[in-house]
């Protein structure tokens, strides 16, 4: 699948804050085009603020654990906080539908539909499907991990990849192949040069920060179209302040400063790029530029250590970055 290049810039001098474009839109919405009370929902800005707070807290907590990691005993805490990060992004995606729902009168649909995404399709199928088609690249793999852990007993296994100058932590999600062979889940982890693969936490945390801004931008684009179509209003995105701006900038800076050390196959698969020009301007790029990738240190030799727990029954495993078992 060809990945569309997305560049998002946030500039305090232009936008008033380093929060997302969606924050600016929802901070200045006319009350006469809102129907959130009919749906028994919060104001859409309230939905956004609660949802975003969870994402930011998850990013912050995971960054702190990752950068202070001491021993293998910390892996359980690391995976638990990583799961909360994934869950928070999934919840933000779901909350995006609730935000959109606030802009439609309840009487447009004459029956109760639990899921906001399905309710919206009854009202505006083409617009919502276009949004979902753009969203799928950022949602699908995330949903695979979250749903397999939640519904299919998939578990984290952890990995350390060592080279001469670097040590990088990561994980893979277990899958089960015929014959009771436990392996990296084939739908989550593609093979690379005949090896199963994993995911480095360094790449993941940077990717999910950038994806959060991209998802918010996709919701913003849909809202602008929605408001123009149904309310005959060309929305103007005004400058506004955000009281947690300094904390947000600090978090973005901390995540950017996590070393650009990744697993061997990850240097060629849509790395995120975070640039900070100064304390008032940031830029997110995904996938990163070829010039950026050229500057990264890519070890030619590395050692892999897998940290895992048995189940008392299984006797066969296929491990990432070792010879592939078929």
Terminal CA-CA length for the chain: 25
Q: What is the model's pTM?
A: 0.95
Residue 277 φ then ψ, to 5°? -80, -40
The pLDDT, as a whole number, for residue 156 is 93
Helices (H) and strands (E) in the chain, counts: 8, 9
- Average pLDDT for runs of 10 along the chain of length 326: 85 97 97 97 98 98 94 84 98 98 96 94 96 95 94 90 91 83 90 91 97 98 97 94 96 97 89 93 94 90 85 80 64
Q: How far apart are CA 124 and CA 57, in angstroms?
A: 33
Q: How far apart are CA 112 and CA 276, in angstroms?
A: 46
The pLDDT, as a whole number, for residue 176 is 84
Specify whether the CB–CB gap between 168 and 263 falls below 8 A: yes
The pLDDT, as a whole number, for residue 21 is 97
Q: Burial letters for 174-209: b for 16+ Cβ neighbours within 10 Å, e otherwise?
A: bbeeeeeebbbbeebbeebeebbbbbbbbbbbbbbb
Specify whether the CB–CB gap between 138 and 298 falls below 8 A: no
The residues with which 158 forms a beta bridge, in sequence order, are 171, 307
Residue 19 φ then ψ, to 5°? -70, -175
Pick from 194, 215, 74: nearest CA to 139: 215
Q: How far apart are CA 209 and CA 206, in angstroms?
A: 5
Greatest Cα pair distance in the chain: 64
The pLDDT, as a whole number, for residue 178 is 65
The pLDDT, as a whole number, for residue 104 is 97
Boundaries of every domain in the chain:
6-152+202-260+273-295
The pLDDT, as a whole number, for residue 310 is 72
The pLDDT, as a whole number, for residue 326 is 43
Q: How far apart are CA 269 and CA 66, in angstroms?
A: 22
């Amino acid at each position: 699948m060809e990945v569309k290049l997305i560049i998002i810039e946030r500039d305090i001098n232009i936008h008033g804050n380093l929060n997302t474009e969606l924050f600016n839109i929802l901070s200045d919405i006319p009350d006469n085009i809102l129907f959130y009370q009919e749906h028994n929902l919060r104001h859409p800005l309230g939905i956004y603020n609660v949802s975003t707070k969870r994402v930011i807290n998850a990013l912050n907590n995971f960054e702190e654990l990752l950068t202070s990691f001491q021993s293998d005993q910390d892996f359980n805490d690391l995976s638990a906080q990583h799961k909360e990060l994934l869950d928070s992004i999934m919840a933000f995606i779901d909350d995006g539908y609730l935000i959109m729902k606030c802009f439609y009168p309840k009487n447009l649909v004459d029956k109760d539909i639990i899921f906001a995404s399905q309710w919206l399709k009854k009202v505006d199928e083409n617009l919502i499907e276009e949004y979902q088609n753009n969203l799928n690249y950022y949602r699908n793999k995330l949903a695979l991990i979250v749903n397999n852990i939640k519904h299919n007993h998939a578990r984290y296994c952890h990995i350390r990849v060592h080279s001469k100058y670097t040590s990088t932590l990561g994980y893979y999600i277990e899958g089960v192949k015929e014959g009771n062979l436990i392996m990296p889940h084939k739908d989550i982890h593609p093979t690379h040069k005949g090896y199963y693969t994993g995911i480095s936490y360094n790449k993941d945390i940077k990717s999910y920060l950038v994806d959060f801004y991209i998802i918010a931008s996709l919701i913003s684009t849909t809202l602008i179209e929605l408001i123009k179509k149904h309310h005959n209003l060309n929305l103007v995105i005004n400058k506004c302040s955000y009281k947690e701006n300094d904390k947000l900038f600090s978090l973005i800076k901390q995540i950017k400063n996590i070393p650009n050390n990744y697993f061997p196959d990850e240097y060629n698969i849509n790395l995120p790029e975070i640039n900070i020009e100064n304390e008032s301007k940031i830029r997110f790029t995904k996938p990163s530029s070829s010039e950026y990738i050229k500057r990264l240190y890519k070890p030619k030799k590395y050692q892999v250590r897998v940290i895992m727990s048995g189940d008392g029954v299984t006797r066969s495993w296929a491990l990432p970055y070792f010879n592939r078992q078929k």
